[in-house]
Amino acid sequence: MPTSETNEFFHGSVGVVQTNIVTFESLTLEGGETITPLEIAYETYGTLNEKKDNAILVCHALSGDAHAAGFHEGDKRPGWWDYYIGPGKAFDTNRYFIISSNVIGGCKGSSGPLSFNGKTGKPFQSTFPFVSIGDMVNAQEKLVRHFGIHKLFAVAGGSMGGMQALQWSVAYPDRLKNCIVMASSSEHSAQQIAFNEVGRQAILSDPNWNQGLYTQEKRPSKGLALARMMGHITYLSDEMMREKFGRKPPKGNIQSTDFAVGSYLIYQGESFVDRFDANSYIYVTKALDHFSLGTGKELTKVLSKVRCRFLVIAYTSDWLYPPYQSEEIVKSLEVNAVPVSFIELNNPAGHDSFLLPSEEQDSILRDFLSATDEGGFF
């Protein structure tokens, strides 16, 4: 934990944390295949109370991981949702026990393409079985039971994390009290699938792809970097990009681009290669594209079984997951007389808005959790 000399640095933070890994015997996937053994990387913040009814599961987006808050030893940057998780914050660790885990199929400690195949003694890579959003949630449910928790106080997430939260409400309707869905959808549109397909094709077209059986010394880095560049464009709004880059030239002597936005995207792509695996990118984006609870009457029927309260947040500037997709979820919940609050925030940051610090968003999350904690409704 932090020393007295570093307390100021960790003010309002959960401090120094570490990622843990728990191993289960197996998990049977929706496609019929089995992951044996099943490993889940996770972090926790706060204390689980005696009744074990104060736990909140936080689900990450495509490139996220279990490290949602605090600092790993030696890190200068905190976890991906540190602004919202900690003592006195929206996800108040003085009140709640926060769980964050890496999805299976990912590359940050949970079972996925980088896991070793006991039969071959080598990583699975592209031979790892297909993993769905439902499979990710079923793995999380094993982790929750591992803590002896019967019912979660809440499940929350944005983007792919929002899909996991939705899936929790449908697959385990009696296992959560509240569901927070941010910048998400009940299924991908053709346009959203198209963006992901371009990214996957960039990886598949890399000379080092080798059918997904590449070595760490010779990875499809260029393809993965291009996939990340494509994805990153969709995370930002036109307003944010104009404000941040305009038509400015790049800083320094960069020969490969004439504009600052190009330099920025190249940096994003190259830095992503250092922390993510190309196979995992393909597996996780396919899980996103195949996720479907339906739309219209089909979605209404699927959501008829949910038993929790909902907070759904959309962002006006989000053109990757536009507000109409959140509104479809809300309408289906309302038809089923499910308590739901819907808020569309006019945040100019685009799809990434749910990740970024915002006093308004912090207040909304805090009020919703506090109201339901006290038995009321926000």
Q: Which residues are annotated as a binding site for substrate?
A: 228, 352
Task: Tell me if residue 318 is catalytic.
Answer: yes
Q: How far apart are the first and last CA of the chain?
A: 35
Of 44, 46, 105, 87, the closest CA to residue 291 belongs to: 105
Task: Tell me if residue 159 is catalytic.
Answer: yes
Candidate list 159, 184, 221, 237, residue with the active-site label: 159
Of 179, 164, 90, the closest CA to residue 364 belongs to: 90
- Alpha-carbon gap, residue 329 to 369, rounded angstroms: 20
C-alpha pair distances (Å), 283 with each of 121, 133, 140, 211, 333:
21, 11, 17, 14, 30
Question: Within 13 Å, how many C-alpha atoms sit on residue 54's CB side?
Answer: 17
Contact predicate 155/168, CB 8 Å: yes
- Alpha-carbon gap, residue 313 to 346, rounded angstroms: 11
Candidate list 13, 221, 351, 353, residue with the active-site label: 351
Of 161, 192, 190, the closest CA to residue 318 belongs to: 192
Task: Tell me if residue 290 is catalytic.
Answer: no
Whose tokens are 């602004």? That residue is 83
Task: Give the pairing type, strands 122-123 and 38-45.
Answer: unpaired
Task: Give the pairing type, strands 122-123 and 116-117.
Answer: antiparallel
Q: Which helix (H) or strand (E) holds 311?
A: strand 309-315
Of 131, 120, 200, 133, the closest CA to residue 165 belongs to: 133
Q: Which residue numbers belong to the known binding site?
A: 228, 352
Contact predicate 284/105, CB 8 Å: yes
DSSP category for residue 255: T
- Exposed/middle/buried for residue 166 (C-beta within 10 Å: 0-12, 13-18, 19+): buried
Please provide the DSSP assignment of 167-232 as one string. Answer: HHHHHSTTSBSEEEEES--SB--HHHHHHHHHHHHHHHTSTT-GGG---SSS--HHHHHHHHHHHH
Active site residues: 159, 318, 351
